[in-house]
Each structure stands twice: as structure tokens, then as C-alpha cells.
Amino acid sequence: MLVGLAPPIAGAACEPGQALTLLHFNDIHGQLEPYEDPHDGTERGGIARLAATVAEVRAEDPQRRVLLLFGGDLLQGTLSSSLFLGVPDLVLLGRMGVDAAVMGNHELDYGQAVFRHLTDEAAFPFLSANVASDSAPLPVRPSILIEQPSGPKVAVLGLTTPDLATATHPRNLEGISVEEPVAVARRLVPALRAEADLVVVLSHMGIADDRRLAASVPGIDLIVGGHNHNLYAEPVFVETVPIVQAGERGGWLGRMEFRCRDGRLATTDYALIPIDAASPEDPQIAEEVRRITLDAERELDKEVGFSTRELSARRELIRREEAPFGNFVADLAREITLADVALLNGGGFRADIPAGPVTLKSIYQAFPFRNELVLGELTGAQLLAALARSAEMDPLDNPGGFLQVSGVRYRIADGRLANAAIGDTPIDPAGRYRVVTSDFLAAGGDGYDMLEEMSEPVMTGRLISDMVIEGFRTESPVSVGTDGRIVRH
């Protein structure tokens, strides 16, 4: 799709006739196989198709420089990612020829040691100029300069969302600090501007912070984004700076063209390339993905932890009253997101986890829907409305919308919400509360329209099933009960 010529881009003088193609994708979240797009039912993605499409672009003109950038969040979201900790994904991105990746907020989900191992083994650099470690340095670079004799010089600066501080388990952040990204960019961009024909920020910050960056820091030519999972058919312009983002899970590949004119690089074209059943497929990578998938399926009987008691998902328990299983999962969600309150629908718990050794199969049977955690803000009035809806559901109907909770206590009397408090303090209708819930409820599922009104919602990329797996891995033996957070009279 032609988007017109941007104003000339300042920087080192490029040579007449020089051209550059920039390809990008983001938020792969372990998605190696094709998947069904929940918005329209289309089969999308598949890393074998993505790799073949990249190869086709490169083959159009072997003399033209093709730059491939990944906008972060390699990990978290599939069985193979949870089992193999992102190693196959990393290898296949290297075979695709990724030139650089930005550190996403989920790169630490399996711990710092795993991320350090991945970056040590990667065929490409991970970038982040605003994340640092107080102990052993993280194996990330702030930026890189990509150049070749016949092509323009491209500086790529990596920036990670400040949400890193709240979007992974606190234990994964020990010694980690995240600096305000605009301040970092102001400090580093001028030197990159002096060196390069093109200054690209590879961002895993989301569109709001990308807009703020573009408006605040001169000298940036392009922001290649991620984190929101947004899909932009055309670049979003802030003044003269284009911001691009290509959805999620390898369903799309962004392509931007540059050409040297009057000694400066200018954009000439942008398109989103769909990766779907009509896309070519790299047969070797497709075979490798099949092998990885089979290996993952064979691992389903693997033990990941131990429960001292049965965690029951019986309808007459988890859809009517406080349940140990609900407490365990809601507490995990609140703990890893640092939310004030967690709200999860009882209908999302589909099978018991027996007492004793806990397997992957039992967890995936309990959470088959691949629901994802969403984090945002509710007013006290909205939060009270959600709890009131839960309280008013007829328990004899075993309503799937009955809320299991963490961080809040609520009492039901005569089928109505009698009171609700956080700690010993009643919920203030005018207050604001940080709430984590499922993507199902955040979309108004089970009639929770008030949760659709959540402000600044962030799709965390973390599946509830994966969160529970990590919970058993790190907290076993798990022994949970009830504590009176839900009382029915």
C-alpha cells in the first residue's frame, strides 16, 4: 500500500540509488504452528510460512539490503514454549535471518537464567537501552549499527516497556531496573543520528509510549513497535515519524521500502503481508515444527509439581462459593501482575487437578480455552458493579460467571452484594483500582459489560494455563484452602 513520500530524513548522506527494505513482525509468543484468528476464523501464521515469505522478499533483488526486525515477546503462550523455554523458537528466528530483536516484557517469564541462555545462543542481538541489571549485566545491547558496502547505514535502538516491572513475576526482576525510555532516547539518539542514514527505534512499549517518544525525541526516523498486538494497515504518523506494528503471532509481516533521494533516505511504500494458507512454506522449517509439536505432545504426562489436596472444579463449588482452586489461580494472577484485585470466572475452570503429582495434561484439561490475562484499571464503582453481578447470579444454576477473586473480599446476602472491601477498607466508588482478569471477561463475557470499560487495558500475552504451570513449578508442594474472601448468607 502506497503511503506517499515522507519528508526527507536527516542524517549521514546516502548514495544515489541506494535502497533498503525493512521487514518486521512482533509478539510471536511461541506460536510456531498456524493458528485460527479469533476475529475472523482465518488460519494465520506459521513460522515456516513467515520464513518462506521473508526469503521470497530477499530473492526479489539479491543486491538490495533487506533488514528483518523482531519487535519482542518471543516467549510465553504455547505448550512448546513452556516446555522448551523458547529454544526452538530462537533457533528458527535465527534461520529466518532476523537482524535484531528488542527485549519484550515476557522475555524474563522463565527467569533471568533462561533469558541469559537464550541471548548467549542467539544468532542475532537482543536490544534494550533502558533495561539494566545491578548484578551480572544482562546480555542485551542498547543499539546496533547495521551497514554494508553497497547499502545505507541503519542504527537500531531498542527500548522496552516500563511494564516490564509489573508484567512478569517479581522474582524474575531481582536486580533489574527499567529506565524511563524517553529520557534514554534523548540521551542516545543524537549520536546514532550522526552515524546513520536511518535511525530506527525497535520498540516493545505499545502505541501510547511510541507516540510519546515520536513527539518528544527529534532525530528518530521510524518506530517499529510491539506489545499491544495492534495491526496497522498503514503507519501511524506522529508529526513526520511513522510508527508500525504487525499484529501478533506471526500472522502478518510488515514491509517498508526506502530509497535514497537527494542524499537522504525517504520512505516510498508500506504494506502488510498476510501470512496465511495462501503463503509459501519453508519445507525444512515446517518439518522441524512438526517434530517440535510431537515432542511437546509426548511431554504432556510430565510432572510439573505437586498438590497436597485435590483442586476441585466441580460446578457446585467453583460456580457458587469460594474455592481453593479459584483462590490459587486468582492469587497467582494478582501476584505476577502486582494488581490490586484479580477477577476470574468459575466457568473458566473445566477440570479438577487431583491431589498428588500434577502433570501438564491435567493443567491443560483444567484450562483448555487459552484465556489470556488482561491488566487495566477500574473505578471502584465499576468493580462493585462486577461483584454485584456475580452476587446476583442464581447459585442453583451453577453460573459460569460467578467470580473467584483475589485481593478483595465480598459478602453475598439474600442474592445481593452486601459489602466488599480490599483489606479492611471498603471499596471506594470514586477510587481507582488495578485489576487483572481474563480476556474473556475483559471483552464483556458472561455479561460483565462493566469490565469492557477497563481503562488502558494491556493484553499481557500470558495464558492462564502457562501461569498455573509456572505456579506449580515454583511453589510446589502447593497447599491451598479458603480464607473467607467470599461469604454467602
pLDDT at 150 (0 to 100): 72
Least-confidence region, from 61-65, 368-372, 450-454:
368-372
> pTM here?
0.73
Q: What is the pLDDT of residue 9?
A: 45
Q: What is the mean pLDDT of residues 407-429?
A: 97
- Is the pLDDT score of 10 beyond 50? no
Identify whether the C-beta of residue 346 lies closer than 8 Å to the C-beta of residue 402.
Answer: yes
Instruction: Residue 153: count other Cβ atoms within 10 Å of its Cβ.
Output: 19
| Average pLDDT over every residue of 112-129 | 94
Are 216 and 113 in a shared domain?
yes
The reply to whether 370 and 338 lie within a common domain is yes
Tell me whether residue 350 is in a domain.
yes
Residue 32: is its pLDDT beyond 80? yes
The confidence score (pLDDT) of residue 6 equals 43
> Among the three residues 296, 317, 347, which one is the final residue of a domain in this structure?
296
The CATH number of the domain holding residue 451 is 3.90.780.10
* Greater pLDDT, 218 or 300: 218
Residues in CB range of 195: below 8 A, 6 or more apart: 12, 145, 153, 155
Q: How many domains does the chain have?
A: 2
Percent of the chain whose predicted confidence (pLDDT) is above 70: 96
Higher per-residue pLDDT: 237 or 351:
237
DSSP label at 442?
A: H
Q: For residues 399 and 262, state if they share a domain.
A: no
Closest by Cα among 271, 280, 228 to 252: 271
Mark whether 356 and 280 lie in a shared domain: no
Both 45 and 131 in one domain: the answer is yes
Residue 212 falls inside a structural domain = yes
- The answer to which of 24-28, 440-444, 470-474 has the lowest mean pLDDT is 440-444
Q: Identify whether residues 219 and 327 lie together within a single domain.
A: no
CATH number assigned to the domain comprising residue 259: 3.60.21.10
Residue 14 predicted with pLDDT over 90: no
Residue 12 has what pLDDT?
59
Pair (338, 439) in one structural domain:
yes
Q: Is residue 250 part of a domain?
A: yes
At residue 213, the 3 state secondary structure works out as helix
Decide the pairing of beta strands 341-345 and 432-438: parallel
Q: What is the mean pLDDT of residues 332-354?
A: 94
Full domain range(s) for residue 456: 303-488
Ranking 86-95, 364-373, 415-424, 425-434 by mean pLDDT, the lowest is 364-373
pLDDT band at 143 (very low <50, low <70, confident <90, very high): very high
172 domain-assigned: yes
pLDDT-derived band of residue 4, with 50, 70 and 90 as boundaries? very low
Does residue 14 lie within any of the structural domains?
no
Residue 100 lies in a domain: yes
**One domain, residues 372 and 466:** yes
Which of 296, 327, 348 delimits the end of a domain? 296
Question: Strand, coil or helix: what is 17?
Answer: coil
What is the predicted pLDDT for the residue at 135?
Answer: 76
On whether both 280 and 310 belong to a single domain, the answer is no
Which sign does the torsion angle of CA 449, 450, 451, 455 carry? positive
Return the C-alpha cell found at 234.
Answer: 498503514
Give, for 294, the enclosing helix (H) or strand (E): helix 283-298
Q: At residue 66, does pLDDT exceed 70?
A: yes
Q: Name every residue whose Cβ is closer than 8 Å to that of residue 475 and which is 6 or more positions away in sequence.
A: 305
Phi, psi of 141 (to 5 degrees): -110, 150
Q: Are residue 167 and residue 255 in the same domain, yes or no?
A: yes
Q: What is the pLDDT of residues 184-229, one digit of tens each?
A: 999 999 999 999 999 999 999 999 899 999 999 999 999 999 988 8
Do residue 127 and residue 151 come from a single domain? yes
In terms of phi and psi (left: phi > 0; alpha: psi -120 to 50; beta: otherwise), the region of 112 is alpha
Please, what is the average pLDDT of the chain? 91
User: Is residue 355 domain-shared with residue 396, that is, in the same domain?
Assistant: yes
Q: Which of 39, 82, 30, 38 is nearest to 369 (CA)?
A: 38
Q: Is the pLDDT of residue 361 over 90?
A: no
- Which cell goes with 390? 456475580
- Which of 266, 296, 326 is the C-terminal boundary of a domain? 296
Q: For residue 3, is it within any domain?
A: no
Q: Is 11 part of any domain?
A: no
7 has pLDDT over 50: no
Query: Which pLDDT band, with edges at 50, 70 and 90, does 262 fall under?
Result: confident
Given a cut of 50, is residue 81 above it in pLDDT?
yes
Q: What is the pLDDT of residue 3?
A: 45
Q: What is the pLDDT of residue 111?
A: 85
